[in-house]
Amino acid sequence: MAENKQVYDILGLDCPDCARKVADGVKKLPGVQLSELNFATGKLTVMGESTQETITERVRALGYDVAEPENETVGPPKREKNFFRFLWGRTETQLALLGTLLVFPGLVFNEILQMELFWVNLLAVAAVLSAGLPVARSAWRNLRFNHSIDINFLMSIAAVGAIVIGAYVEAGMVMVLFALGEALEGFTSERARASIESLMNVVPQTATRLILVGDEVQEVDVPVEDLDIGHLILVRPGETIPMDGIVRDGFSSVNQAAITGESRLVEKTIGETVFASTFNGEGALEIEVTHRSEENTISRVIKLVQEAQGKQAPAQRFIDRFARWYTPLVVVLAALVAVLPPLIWGEPFLNPTQGEFGWLYRGLTLLVISCPCALVISTPVSIISAISNAARNGVLFKAGLHLETLSKTKVFAFDKTGTLTEGRPMLVAARSTAHPDFQPISGSCTDCADLVALAHAVERRAKHPLAEAIADAASSLQVTARYPAADAVSVLPGLGVSGQVNGQLVQIGSHRLMDDCAEHSQEDCFQLNMEEQTGNTQVHVAVDGELKGSLLATDAVRPSSKQALADLRKLGIKTLVMLTGDLPAAAEQIAAEVGVTDFRSSLLPQDKVNAVMELKNQYGHVVMIGDGINDAPALALADVGIAVGGAGSSAQAIETADITLMQADLSKLPFAYNLSRKTMRIILFNIIFAIGVKAAFMVLATLGYSSMWMAVVADMGISILVTFNGMRLLRYPK
């Protein structure tokens, strides 16, 4: 049976229970193999042979609406930002507003002035019909298609029961307040979805393409969808970069906050990578497109965030399972409260005695306050808000599960090269045979400058990392032109490289090369052996077979690493472990500099996996942070794998990891950890608060001290409070 994937934007979802009803209803259609509805994004994914018309008909039969199937040209549905316009834009909320007008006289005369008027009761019944018709219809549809009872069913029973016992105004108020409360939940959910879709709004829809016509380059405005890999585009000063690409001409400063979350401007020149949705500064850039519009970085970010919000955290799955059996249990409990006291103790069933509520009324009130709205919506809104906030700050969570797991972790394991360090060597010192002690590379050290100039003359056409480090040092010392480029350059595999510079044979390489090709004293040999024990890279320079000196290269620590680890310690992380393939001496030096509490050295990729396993056995949850191919197995094994993004990171590490830091440093790691802890604290508070207030009102309802309209105000009030509390995570921490 051939599978056919279809994706729809579902409109009118007010809470996670709505999403579950739609998904279950569509799943029961013939030919449907899979039906999943992501409440966070409102996207319904259907696998199977059922037609678009059949699926759309079922969704609308359940009381919701469908936008067009998702494709490359259809953007997200428009999200209304004004609550009153949101209310006026939906039929069911228009009826609720009408019901509000109809029940208002009852609130004044019956509840405040304590006057029982016939025409007021008629208006209250009309309010029940107006606001309650969509509620009752939704309850019937769910019962018909999914064979289950939901919140709408509970409220319909309560309203009908209230009319039966003559509490007309209360019945009207219950329905109106419930409908308006559901609408407010829907509005806040729309705002949460809009926080993700706002990422799309920063991407331009057109670009200026440079096309060669004859001998003339013409500028043509084209839709970004028409651009292909290899096309050349022009981005003027102050414009937003429309596509991922590589700078082929120009120099500018670019604001990359939309992708990496970093606030500083990043200088971009020829050969540098730029991202779609980032903001160009003072200079014009000619950019070669490297990804199509649907495959660029911002598109992948949006897709990952949307997928992450559809993957439930354990807390969310627990609440959803709890709500499934909680709702029918509440119906049974309310029935027992209404029936048992009259049957066993002869208490009044319908009419109040001596000013007290009858037991049917108490049971109906219990039914109202027991609705699981607040519980069901408390967790997903918090998860949505946190993941959206993280994405805007350059941290991508692939699932809510990882947000929850990260908050529980007390052990962080770090790869060294490319994670704690820059991942590329940098010349930091030099020594000559005339001055045997290493001196920092600077303009005041003439011998150092000459060694760097000789090395640069031989290595200037090479592209390996050490050659680039020598070129950077030569440039900073302004000695790039001291010697001409070497002739007859030859590579000595495993040893180094040699060439002719001004008629002299210059050899650059390892201690072993010096032993084979260059004269040096026993004292020099001893000194070289001692230096190798430090773990730093030694580059030795010989001229015409005589050792002239050595250059010292080290892998520089990222500027953000030390501060990031210090911030993690402030947040309560006591175990910070560095895992590296370096020799113990080099590992110890970096470990002391960045501030880890422990390190493991001389590790192969499999050894890193074993180290992570040992840490898990010793401490429980472990976070692994890395950037390379060799880190991928350890990232996969850890409870939470975090990939450090950037130009040097491997696709395997990013694909394997559960979280990606878009910026090529660790500055956002404490933010991500702090956000995860705050998220779980808010979720826990919301759950305890919702259950606590509901339990208190259930006791009050059973004892006869709570009216139905007070119960529905409490229920909707709790839902609104936990929703707004969860949405605080859109802006936390500042």
CB 382 within 8 A of CB 594: no
User: Is the pLDDT higher at 203 or at 241?
Assistant: 241
Using a cut of 0.85, tell me whether the model's pTM lies above it.
no
Look at residue 576 in the predicted model and tell me its pLDDT. 96
pLDDT in tens, 320-329: 666 667 777 8
DSSP string of 517-578? H-B--HHHHHHHHHHHTT--EEEEEEETTEEEEEEEEEEEEPHHHHHHHHHHHHTT--EEEE
Mean of pLDDT values over 630-634: 81
| Rg of the chain taking only CA atoms, in angstroms | 34
* Domains detected in the chain: 5-69 (3.30.70.100), 85-196+313-384+680-731 (no CATH), 206-297 (2.70.150.10), 423-556 (3.40.1110.10)
Checking if the pLDDT of 728 tops 80, the result is yes
For a pLDDT cut of 90, what percent of the chain falls above it? 15
Across residues 9-25, what is the average pLDDT?
82
* pLDDT confidence bin for 672, thresholds 50/70/90: very high
The highest-confidence range among 105-109, 401-405, 573-577, by mean pLDDT, is 573-577
Q: Which residues contact 514 (CB under 8 A, 6 or more apart)?
A: 520, 528, 540, 542, 547
Flag whether pLDDT at 494 surpasses 70. no
In a 13 Å sphere around the CA of 465, the CA atoms on its Cβ side amount to 13
What pLDDT, on a 0 to 100 scale, did the predictor assign at position 206?
87
Which has the closest alpha carbon to 526: 428, 430, 436, 427? 436
Residues 6 or more apart whose CB falls under 8 angstroms from that of 689 comprise 718, 721, 722
pLDDT single digits (tens) 450-473: 889 999 998 887 767 788 888 888
Q: How far apart (Å, rounded) are the C-alpha atoms in residues 606 and 601?
A: 13
- Write out pLDDT tens, residues 365-420: 887 777 776 677 777 778 878 888 888 888 888 877 888 889 999 899 998 888 88
The answer to whether 190 and 110 are in contact (CB under 8 A) is: no
Taking the C-alpha atoms of residue 668 and residue 134, their distance in angstroms, rounded to an integer, is 46
Q: Range with the lowest mean pLDDT among 79-93, 101-115, 189-203, 220-234?
A: 189-203
Model confidence at 27: pLDDT above 70: yes
CA atoms within 13 A of residue 490's CA, in its CB half-sphere: 4
Q: For 343-380, how does the pLDDT look when each residue is reduced to its tens digit (9 = 90+)?
A: 888 777 776 544 456 788 888 888 777 777 667 777 77
Residues contacting 11, CB < 8 A, separation 6+: 42, 64, 65, 66, 67, 77
CA–CA separation, 429 and 446 (whole Å): 12
Mean pLDDT across the stretch 103-116? 77
Mean pLDDT lowest among 107-121, 126-140, 524-538, 658-672? 524-538
Question: Rounded to a whole number, what is the largest CA-CA distance in the chain?
Answer: 117
Q: How far is it, in rounded angstroms, from Cα 145 to Cα 154?
A: 17
**pLDDT average, residue stretch 232-243:** 89
Place of tokens 């407010």: 184
Tokens at 261, concatenated: 């979350």
Walk across the sheet containing 279-280 and list its strands. Answer: 265-268, 252-255, 279-280
Indicate the average pLDDT of the chain. 81
* pLDDT for res 678: 94
Q: Given 415, 524, 567, 658, which residue is catalytic?
A: 415
Highest mean pLDDT pick, 72-81, 99-108, 194-203: 99-108
Task: Please name every residue paired with 421 in a beta bridge, in sequence order, or none if there are none.
Answer: 557
Instruction: Please state which of the ranges 250-254, 275-279, 566-570 shows the lowest mean pLDDT.
Output: 275-279
Nearest partner of 628 among 579, 670, 667, judged by Cα? 579
72 band by pLDDT with thresholds 50, 70 and 90: very low
Whether 598 sits among the annotated catalytic residues: the reply is: no
